[in-house]
């Protein structure tokens, strides 16, 4: 079916302006296929069902709007002593990075591995993204598959004790960065992936994660703090029997963030948790979490826990879906999205969806918007706590349920400190 | 210590007059009780003194050691030494009781220009105080008042009072919702804090509590005014005869 003209024009303009990088035959083919499906789907527009609450215009436009560079938060995650890979303006910086070796770990750059004729990533790169295009189209993800210049390919062959951390630094303003990561967790293996930083005025990331039976994948990220940055991220996961997938995202600052997370639970007794906390200040702030979890096996447990603190006109969006396929009996699905609106100008838009084709499941969802409790505020103040400190304490308490989704207490503490610091700096 | 003169207070939203000229002086180290029928303005007095929103002071004054209470933010009143034990302690999900206590103690110390208590010193102090009130470690870890029984909530109020060491303590119907044993425990906690420099204003419906916390002075409040002041015997009179005689006398 032909695209509407406005969509065709916007898509043509952008696709004309991008190039498909060179690589080995398998990678080149994957990129070309992705380019073809991007052109067929057309890039997103406000009139699309899943972009109703978030205008993708600045993500689609040929040029990324400029964004000032803020200092990088080099200290975050440093206590975890991770294996660190540094990207500067979306380009790998070998000198600033650790050696790409680790126990039970195969790790390589997309730019290098993509030159090899055979690579394990071949079965995943663009494959999970393609699977995630149905039933909801995600053309920005296929555009990423087609044009990503670099990224990291991580394979855990056993328990990996040292987390892998991707640090996205920025030097230039007004640039694009497109990164595509692939993670494969072999049966019984375990790995933790950390991400932090802005990378560019406009960053696109796709992370495809395949977790085999009994594998465990943990993901914790702090999205870039540059005030004017735009970011669209996609996580596509396919998880096997008895496996665990847990992803947590903290977002502070930025003008536009859209995080898509698509998970297919293919094996019995799998666990998938996706959670996020965001704190937004000002009418330029727009933050969107869009999650799609498919239960396609027995006794799967999924949780979506999203908390947003919004003020001075900030906008938060949550679109979360649980799809329980026929035969996915004993599914336990939970979804909660809540916003704390610190003034009358801020907005929270939530679209929870449940689609269930099995008859023996427990699924629950809830969504709330509220203000700080006046009663609790007075109680704290009557004990000598200042209004600001009391508000911050109650705000952190509101976010606590989401942060509890982080399995590693040290990493959770790191993010809690960032939140407390942010709240401290941003007086009411 | 506490001096209230001609205090008149309206409800902000309804333009309804609640306190119609309250005069009350509590000296250092004294324990005063305020009794009175429902709706007489007892709880309003405690809220206005501690700075809760929703009330408008139309006349009069309230000072603590000469400092104008009504001009201060609630947290400044706390730092000045005022403490209100709530009739209905507020539940705060997500904030641990211990964090809450430490934040409060250190905020007040900071406001008074003292160093913050170290984590170790604080822990030692809170454990000792909690033990006296039969508050176990589990209760200290839980979120503030969440899932606490009525008795646990009131004991938690007294624990806060013990940790914050205020000069002027207002107890707003601390006996409500308590069984006999819990009332005894709470009263012992209060009595342990009685000292020359610390005063109490005990708001209650029943004489019962005053068997445990012996007041120096008893006031009867009705329709926004203190209509009678006397010794501990006045509380017994109320217990035996109800308020009717006193109200008729005041008319």
How many whole angstroms separate alpha carbon B121 and alpha carbon A91? 50
Question: What is the rounded average pLDDT for all residues in chain B?
Answer: 92
Phi, psi of A334 (to 5 degrees): -135, 140
Q: Per-residue pLDDT tens for A284-336? A: 899 999 999 999 999 999 999 999 999 999 999 999 999 999 999 999 999 99
Q: Which residues of B touch A (CB under 8 A)?
A: 50-53, 73-75, 77-79, 83-84, 86, 89-95, 99-100, 103-104, 107-108, 111, 143, 160, 164
Tokens of A231: 């970011």
Q: Per-residue pLDDT tens for B94-153? A: 899 999 999 999 999 998 899 999 989 999 999 999 998 888 888 999 999 999 999 899
pLDDT for residue A174 is more than 70: no
Q: Per-residue pLDDT tens for A36-87? A: 999 999 999 999 999 999 999 999 999 999 888 887 778 899 999 999 999 9
Mean pLDDT of A91-97: 95
In sequence order, the β-bridge partners of residue A237 are A209, A263
Q: Per-residue pLDDT tens for B146-188? A: 999 998 999 999 999 999 999 999 999 998 888 888 899 889 9
pLDDT band at residue B207 under the 50/70/90 scheme? confident
pLDDT for residue A1 is more than 70: no
Mean pLDDT of A18-39: 94
Mapped onto helix, strand or coil, the DSSP state of residue B16 is strand
Q: How far, rounded to the nearest angstrom, does the alpha carbon of residue A418 sit from its chain's CA centroid?
A: 18
Contact flag A380-B94 (C-beta cutoff 8 Å): no
Q: What is the CA angle A284-A290-A291, rounded to 5? A: 155
* Nearest residue, CB atoms, A375 vs list B50, B90, B93: B90
Mapped onto helix, strand or coil, the DSSP state of residue B75 is helix
Q: Per-residue pLDDT tens for A197-213? A: 989 999 999 999 999 99
CA distance A392 to chain B (A): 11
Q: What is the 3-state secondary structure (H, E, C) of A309-367?
A: EEECCCEEEEEEEEEECCCCCCCEEEEEEEEEECCCCCEEEEEEEEEECCCCCEEEEEE
Q: DSSP secondary structure string, B67-91?
A: EEGGGS-HHHHHHTTEEEE-SSPPP
pLDDT for residue A428 is more than 60: no
Q: What is the pLDDT of residue A100?
A: 93
This model of the complex carries an ipTM of 0.96
Q: Which residues of A touch B84 (CB under 8 A)?
A: 382
Give percent of chain A above pLDDT 90.
88
Query: What is the reported pTM?
Result: 0.91
Q: Residue B120 CB: number of other CB atoms within 10 A?
A: 8
pLDDT for residue A156 is more than 90: yes
Q: What is the pLDDT of residue A427?
A: 66
Contact flag A387-B100 (C-beta cutoff 8 Å): no
Question: What is the rounded average pLDDT for all residues in chain A?
Answer: 95
Give percent of chain A above pLDDT 70.
99
């Amino acid at each position: 079916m032909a695209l509407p003209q406005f969509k065709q024009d916007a898509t043509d303009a952008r696709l004309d302006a991008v190039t498909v990088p060179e690589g080995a035959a398998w990678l080149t083919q994957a990129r070309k296929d992705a380019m073809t499906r991007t052109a067929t789907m057309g890039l997103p527009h406000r009139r699309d069902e899943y972009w109703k609450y978030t205008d993708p215009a600045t993500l689609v436009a040929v040029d990324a709007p400029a964004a000032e560079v803020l200092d990088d938060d080099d200290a975050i995650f440093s206590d975890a002593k991770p294996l660190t890979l540094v990207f500067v303006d979306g380009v790998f910086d070998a000198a600033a990075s650790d050696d790409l070796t680790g126990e039970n770990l195969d790790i390589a750059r997309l730019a290098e591995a993509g030159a090899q004729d055979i690579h394990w990533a071949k079965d995943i790169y663009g494959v999970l993204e393609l699977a995630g295009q149905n039933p909801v189209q995600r053309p920005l993800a296929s555009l990423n598959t087609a044009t990503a210049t670099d990224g990291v390919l991580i394979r855990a062959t056993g328990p990996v004790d040292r987390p892998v951390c991707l640090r996205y630094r920025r030097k230039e303003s007004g640039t694009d960065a497109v990164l595509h990561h692939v993670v494969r967790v072999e049966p019984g293996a375990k790995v933790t992936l950390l991400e932090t930083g802005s990378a560019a005025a406009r960053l696109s990331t796709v992370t495809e994660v395949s977790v085999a039976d009994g594998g465990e994948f943990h993901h914790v990220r702090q999205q870039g703090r540059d005030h004017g940055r735009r970011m669209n991220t996609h996580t596509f996961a396919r998880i096997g029997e008895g496996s665990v997938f847990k992803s947590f995202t903290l977002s502070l600052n930025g003008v536009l963030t859209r995080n898509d997370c698509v998970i297919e639970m293919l094996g019995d007794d799998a666990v998938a948790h996706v959670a996020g906390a965001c704190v937004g200040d000002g009418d330029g702030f727009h933050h969107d979490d869009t999650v799609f979890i498919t239960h396609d096996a027995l006794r799967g447990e999924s949780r979506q826990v999203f908390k947003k603190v919004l003020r001075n006109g900030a906008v938060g969006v949550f679109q979360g879906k649980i799809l329980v396929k026929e035969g996915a009996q004993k599914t336990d699905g939970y979804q909660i999205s809540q916003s704390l609106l610190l003034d009358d100008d801020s907005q929270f838009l939530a679209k929870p969806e449940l689609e269930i084709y099995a008859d023996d499941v427990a699924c629950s969802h809830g969504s709330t918007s509220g203000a700080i409790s006046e009663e609790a505020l007075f109680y704290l103040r009557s004990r000598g706590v200042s209004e600001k400190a009391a508000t911050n304490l109650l705000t952190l308490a509101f976010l606590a349920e989401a942060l509890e989704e982080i399995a590693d207490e040290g990493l959770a503490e790191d993010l809690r400190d960032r939140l407390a610091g942010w709240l401290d700096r941003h007086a009411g | 210590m506490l001096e209230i003169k001609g205090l008149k207070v309206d409800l902000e939203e309804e333009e309804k007059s609640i306190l119609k000229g309250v005069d009350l002086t509590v000296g250092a180290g004294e324990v005063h009780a305020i009794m009175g029928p429902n709706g007489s303005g007892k709880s309003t007095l405690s809220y206005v003194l501690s700075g809760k929103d929703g009330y408008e002071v139309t006349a009069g004054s309230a000072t603590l050691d000469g400092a104008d209470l009504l001009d201060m933010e609630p947290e400044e009143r706390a730092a000045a030494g005022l403490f209100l034990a709530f009739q209905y302690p507020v539940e705060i999900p997500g904030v641990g009781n211990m964090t809450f206590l430490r934040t409060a103690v250190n905020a007040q110390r900071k406001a008074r220009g003292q160093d913050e208590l170290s984590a170790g010193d604080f822990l030692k102090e809170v454990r000792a105080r909690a033990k006296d009130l039969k508050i176990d470690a589990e209760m200290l870890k839980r979120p503030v008042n969440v899932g606490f029984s009525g008795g646990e909530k009131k004991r938690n109020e007294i624990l806060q009072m013990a940790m914050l060491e205020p000069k002027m303590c207002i107890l707003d119907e601390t006996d409500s919702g308590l069984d006999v044993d819990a009332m005894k425990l709470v009263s012992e906690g209060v009595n342990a804090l009685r000292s020359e420099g610390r005063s109490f204003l005990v708001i209650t419906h029943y004489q019962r509590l005053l068997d445990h916390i012996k007041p120096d002075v008893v006031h009867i409040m009705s329709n926004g005014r203190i209509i009678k002041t006397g010794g501990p015997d006045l509380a017994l009179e109320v217990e035996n005869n109800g308020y009717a005689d006193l109200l008729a006398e005041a008319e």
